[in-house]
A and B are shown apart, each in its own frame.
Chain A
């Protein structure tokens, strides 16, 4: 294993110290238990939003903490759910009296730990709602039975809901908006290479030099099928078509197109994929109203990409465009 780390057990805590050193203007970091909150938290009277999950998906979620997006984030160990004590303390630290939304990706451990944290927070008099994101269309045909995994739509939900909360919308409204984003977004990913969890020291799975895995999860979970590596044009079609079908996108609709790197794929390749995606959508008379291109929900150093499409309406478009100032996303602010 060749990585820029000091020791496997210090990866998460040292990265968190780096975030703290770089972004003290945006976030405050708590080290025991581990969580980060926006620098001005709690914001009085504002619905707060937190998320969390295993580390290794950077910039998600810590890179999305700041004005217009998340109020707080709880990093677990690499690819391991954070624990409810982190989530409870983070919830308390961001609650400005208007309640707290938990945005949870659909993995058994994450869901159970967030449910328990929500119970504990309610026990302390904080209003909590949770929305589970499950947008991965690869899953219904994969080995998994715990339901669709939460992937790319998480980033979009955090941005759109963060904007709504910033406008002063209620907890119930923001939670409903989060469910709307989840209902109108679907994703599919693929891997060209595996990735190595620092504590494990060896690749999560084996993939031959001439192979790719279609429908991969963000922790290297198996997908739909293993195939010979193919061109960007063919791969884009394999990812985009199931997403378009599952969403039931029709002629005349507008989408947010999110082309994401799994960590190891460079921007130049993402633009090639985006160009192919535009051609596929053009042929169906679907407009790309907004886009996001880059590494935003990653799997360590895995090479590969995912495509997420979100069906847009005027409201979601407006909220997407609203100012945001975080370590990883910044515009209008």
Chain B
């Protein structure tokens, strides 16, 4: 497999919706420890609604699909996760408009744009104990793999593995952004829920597309 096709992207989004549904209690428990105990519920509400958008989407245009998913998440997730995940997909859509397939390098460009959008929206940096702590290592690893000429499947696996490491690294951190920052030192010792759902997103890509 040399490229990531429209059907692969559909498979990825469906796989993410499935894993969010399966793990919604886990994500909510992580959030209950340091936030307001709704991350799994909110993400599941958003991705369930996004499934309807995916089912209804007729044209094989990756950018248009990602934009439709972004708008659905923006209107259904709420809180801070809605605008952050909405921005991630919206920025990815700006780099993939009109495309029915993507090279590994194009995927990395889209993911980078998504990450940059999330950073701009949330104003979080690496080490603030947010989704950026999973997303940025994932983007870096994906770029390195793509630059080395790896296949899309290998690029996606590299980014998911880096995200997993990033999630682990959030555990000892003291939160500096988001609701967890209200807890100060008491936020240390807990895995960040937003970083965790970001890992699930990238792992779903590796699983769905890598397997395809």
**B179 on interface, CB distance cutoff 8 Å:** yes
Q: Which residue of the partner chain, among A81, A83, A143, contacts B76 with CB atoms under 8 Å?
A: A83
Q: Is the CB of B76 within 8 A of A112?
A: no
Q: Is the CB of B75 within 8 A of A84?
A: yes
**B26 on interface, CB distance cutoff 8 Å:** no
Q: Is the CB of A83 within 8 A of B75?
A: yes
Q: Is the CB of B121 within 8 A of A112?
A: yes
User: Inside 8 A of B80's CB, which chain A residues have their CB?
Assistant: 108-109, 112
**B71 on interface, CB distance cutoff 8 Å:** yes
Q: Known interface pairs A77-B78, A109-B78, A115-B121. Does A145 touch B86 (Cβ–Cβ under 8 Å)?
A: no
Q: Which residue of chain A has its CB nearest to the CB of B84?
A: A112
CA distance A143 to B122 in the complex (A): 20
Q: Which residue of chain A has its CB nearest to the CB of B76?
A: A83
CA distance A86 to B75 in the complex (A): 8
Binary A-proximity of B168-212 (CB < 8 A = 1, otherwise 0): 000000001011011110000000000000000000000000000
CA distance A173 to B183 in the complex (A): 39
Q: Is the CB of A83 within 8 A of B82?
A: yes
Contacting residues of chain A (115-129) with chain B, CB-CB under 8 angstroms? 115-116
Contacting residues of chain A (192-209) with chain B, CB-CB under 8 angstroms? none
Q: Known interface pairs A108-B80, A115-B83. Does A146 touch B74 (Cβ–Cβ under 8 Å)?
A: no
Q: Is the CB of A116 within 8 A of B121?
A: yes
CA distance A112 to B123 in the complex (A): 10
User: Inside 8 A of A33's CB, which chain B residues have their CB?
Assistant: 75
**B79 on interface, CB distance cutoff 8 Å:** yes
Q: Which residue of chain B has its CB nearest to the CB of A83?
A: B75
CA distance A112 to B184 in the complex (A): 21
Binary A-proximity of B6-25 (CB < 8 A = 1, otherwise 0): 00000000000000000000
Contacting residues of chain A (60-119) with chain B, CB-CB under 8 angstroms? 76-77, 80-81, 83-86, 108-109, 112-113, 115-116
Q: Known interface pairs A112-B84, A115-B83, A116-B83. Does A143 touch B183 (Cβ–Cβ under 8 Å)?
A: yes
CA distance A77 to B74 in the complex (A): 15
User: Inside 8 A of B179's CB, which chain A residues have their CB?
Assistant: 108
User: Inside 8 A of A80's CB, which chain B residues have their CB?
Assistant: 78-79
> What is the CB-to-nearest-CB distance from A257 to chain B, in angstroms, rounded to a whole number?
31
Give the B interface residue count (CB, 8 A).
22
Q: Which residue of the partner chain, among A108, A116, A143, A145, contacts B74 with CB atoms under 8 Å?
A: A116
Q: Is the CB of B184 within 8 A of A143?
A: yes
CA distance A112 to B79 in the complex (A): 9
**A144 on interface, CB distance cutoff 8 Å:** yes
> What is the CB-to-nearest-CB distance from A173 to chain B, in angstroms, rounded to a whole number?
28
Q: Is the CB of A85 within 8 A of B121?
A: no
**B93 on interface, CB distance cutoff 8 Å:** no
User: Inside 8 A of A112's CB, which chain B residues have their CB?
Assistant: 80, 83-84, 121-122
Binary A-proximity of B108-123 (CB < 8 A = 1, otherwise 0): 0000000000000110
User: Inside 8 A of B136's CB, which chain A residues have their CB?
Assistant: none
Q: Is the CB of A109 within 8 A of B79?
A: yes
Q: Is the CB of A113 within 8 A of B75?
A: no
**B87 on interface, CB distance cutoff 8 Å:** yes
Q: Is the CB of B121 within 8 A of A81?
A: no
User: Inside 8 A of A109's CB, which chain B residues have their CB?
Assistant: 78-80, 83
Q: Which residue of the partner chain, among B77, B84, B122, B182, contacts A145 with CB atoms under 8 Å?
A: B182
Q: Which residue of the partner chain, among A77, A84, A86, contacts B83 with CB atoms under 8 Å?
A: A84
Q: Which residues of B pack against A, CB within 8 Å? A: 71, 74-80, 82-84, 86-87, 121-122, 176, 178-179, 181-184
Pairs A-B, 10 closest by C-beta atoms: A85-B75, A112-B83, A116-B83, A145-B181, A109-B79, A143-B182, A84-B74, A109-B80, A83-B75, A113-B83
A80-B79, A84-B74, A145-B181 given; 4 more Cβ-contact pairs under 8 Å: A81-B78, A81-B79, A85-B75, A145-B184
What are 7 A-B pairs at a CB distance below 8 A? A80-B78, A83-B75, A83-B77, A109-B79, A116-B74, A144-B182, A145-B184
